[in-house]
Amino acid sequence: MVEDMKQSTDRIRVVIFGILDGIHDGHRDMFRQARDYGGELVVILGRDESALRLKNRKPQYSEEERLELLRQEQWVSRGVLGDEEPSSYQVLKQLNPDVICLGYDQQVLNDDLRKWMNREGKNIPIWVLKPYQPDVFHNSLLSPT
């Protein structure tokens, strides 16, 4: 019985979103929390242009370098590049996740995803993860301005 529950959890695909410009312990805690919701964790990595649009600066690491950094993380099953067109969520359609997990500071994305799901007739559960020392491990505090 316990083995059956484990197998069914292993088949659950969880996705998270992020620019992830240099992976720190806060990101790792987010990966770990998200992985609690299923057996496969796919990170949708924001494109360089998205970072520029959202954060008014290019990432320190290119999107290819950030993908490579993700491959080294124990909780991450795989990383994929996000959409070039904002709010289109084509990559989300392709991945067909069972669960979406968001960081505690991704309210704008949460609102946008819910609007998209309403338009598309989708109902994917969205879970907001707990912060991990947000006064220490937030990229706006760690990255040069």
- Residue 102 burial (CB count, 10 A): 20
| pLDDT reading at 2 higher than 50 | no
| pLDDT reading at 62 higher than 60 | yes
| Residue 118 belongs to some domain of the structure | yes
| Residue 30 belongs to some domain of the structure | yes
Give the model confidence (pLDDT) of 77-123 as tens digits. Answer: 999 999 999 999 999 999 999 999 999 999 999 999 999 999 999 99
| Residue 144 belongs to some domain of the structure | no
Q: Which residues pair with 14 in a beta bridge?
A: 41, 99
* Residue 35: CATH number of its domain: 3.40.50.620
Give the model confidence (pLDDT) of 17-36 as tens digits. Answer: 999 999 999 999 999 999 99
**How many domains, the chain?**
1
pLDDT band at 55 (very low <50, low <70, confident <90, very high): confident
Residue numbers of the domain that contains 56: 2-135
| Residue 87 belongs to some domain of the structure | yes
